[in-house]
Structure 1
Amino acid sequence: MPTLNLIQHHPAEGPGAIAHWAESRGLTLNVFRADLGQLPPVSADPVILLGGPYESNAGPAWLQAERQWLKGSLEQDAAVFAICLGAQLLALSLGGTVRRLDQTETGWTRVTFSDGQTLKVLEWHEDAIDLSPNAQLLASSEQCAQQMYRAGPTRLGLQFHPEWNAASVAELNAHFGDESPLPRGVQDDAAFAEVFSWLKVTLDAWWLASTGR
């Protein structure tokens, strides 16, 4: 069975809907907890980077180790699908910068793609990415212009969280308590379903470009 490496940065931020996509495609996810010092060997293997409540420009020592690991993997032409903190780490590795937003962007937010399509997605971030010159902007929101970007056919960065499903939100709310700005109570099942449909198509295309299958 094919395998796919996934880097997790926080106990309450797991693969979520990505795990359902992987199962549907017959893929085994190899989950590494970077915050516990776990990283795969530097290689050209495709990898997914998740988010986390950390400062991408500085952060704890293990995050600096991950930045070095990511730099080495990119030098070997690794394909990367990066979300939130992961997208910031990828942008920094590609020559972009990360800065504070004027106001934290949280909850359900509508992003607009370069083809005019829109999608309601979940957000929780206070940083914004300034892209490197060789990166292509793919989506924006009213508050944050850099919501999704591409750097070649196999490197994608997303500031929003398509991997969060209702179970993910419940886990985040339980872990962070009153600090969490995410929705509570009855969840918007239709919105989650629409995001998951988009995520499946997007991951399928990334996986095909990355592996040829």
Structure 2
Amino acid sequence: MRIHVVADAADKDGGYVVERIVERGGEIVELDRDALTSFGELGGSELIVLLGSDKSAHDPKWERSVISETELVRSALRAGTPVMGICYGAQLLARALGGTSWRSDKAELGWGRVDTIDPVLCPEGPWGQMHTDVFAPGPTSRIIGTTWRGPQCIVDDSFGARSIAWQFHPEVTPETYERWVHAGYFGDIGVDTADLIRQARRNAIQSRLRARSLTDAALSYLGVA
């Protein structure tokens, strides 16, 4: 099972989600989102996974990278290869399917519950959050999870393959979350960073268990053996 994981060169940790994919027999091929080849040059893929990023998909500075990644997504779906997105990956997928994204007026941080209409593909959590952007899905996508900040999970089966994406971070480990906190991806907003790190550590065991179940459910929905 050949899985292509698209990520920033400096942050390629797929955490609990990629861990579970590997346990299920996945062979991981990492792709730098700033130096992508075409889908046809990948040599076959069972699944495309779009990880998070400190970039913003709507920022003109990253236009070239966003265009190449959205084209990879569209080509994959047209070829029958499913796509899974997380955080920035969800915003990218939404844009590839005709939606958009923009800067939120407030960062969404820490562990919180999600309002859901599908507790299998989008359990209520709590899930780790760290993002300053929000997205609106395209016309063919279905929102199955939300918070008061915006959509948290979308699914789509309008192309040649299915796709799913979460705005929250099912993959994140305490170590990665702490690194993000110290990197200040959310800006200088006076938040209690020590409390964010405590939340990550306190939720570590349950987060891993939830992520494993969610990954299994998503692979089943996407039709990945």
**TM-score normalised over the length of structure 2:** 0.79
- Partner of residue 109, structure 1: 112
In 2, Cα distance between equivalents of 1:121 and 1:178: 17
Contact 1:44 1:76 in 2 (8 A): no
Residues 75 and 19 of structure 1, relative CA distance in 2, 3 Å threshold: closer
Q: Take 1:67 and 1:85, find their aligned partners in 2: how far apart are those partners?
A: 12
Distance 1:187 1:39 in 2: 38
Return the letter of the residue paired with 1:34: R
Q: Work out the CA distance in 1 between the residues paired with 2:186 and 2:142.
A: 37
After superposing the two structures, state which structure 1 stretch, 163-172 or 69-78, moved more. Answer: 69-78
Give the one of 169, 177, 181 matched to 1:161.
169
Q: Report the equivalent of 2:50.
A: 49
**Do the aligned partners of 2:111 and 2:129 also contact (CA within 8 Å) in 1?**
yes
TM-score (norm 1): 0.83
131-140 vs 47-56, which moves further: 131-140
1:134 correspondence with 2:146: no
1:92 aligned partner, one-letter code: R
Deviations 1:89-129 (A, max 9, x none): 11111111212322221122221211575211111212211
Structure 1 unaligned segments of length 5 or more: list them: none
Identity %: 20
User: Residue 98 of structure 1: SS of its match in structure 2?
Assistant: strand
Counterparts of 1:36-185 in structure 2, within 5 Å, are 37-39=35-37, 41-42=39-40, 45-57=46-58, 58-60=60-62, 61-115=64-118, 118-142=124-148, 144-152=149-157, 154-176=162-184, 179=187, 183=195
SS for the counterpart of 1:134 is coil
Greater Cα offset, 121-130 or 58-67? 58-67
Secondary structure of 2:114 counterpart: strand
Give 1:78 deviation, angstroms: 2.2
What's the RMSD between the two structures over aligned residues?
2.7
Secondary structure of the structure 1 residue equivalent to 2:14 = coil
Matched, 1:14 2:13: yes
CA distance in 2, matches of 1:174, 1:95: 34
Query: Aligned pair count?
Result: 210
State the 1:73 CA deviation: 1.9
Q: Go from structure 1 to structure 2 and tell me whether the alpha carbon gap of 1:22 and 1:115 turns closer, same or farther (over 3 Å shift).
A: closer
- Judge conservation of contact 1:10–1:52 (CA < 8 Å) in 2: no
Which runs of 5 or more structure 2 residues have no equivalent in the other structure? none
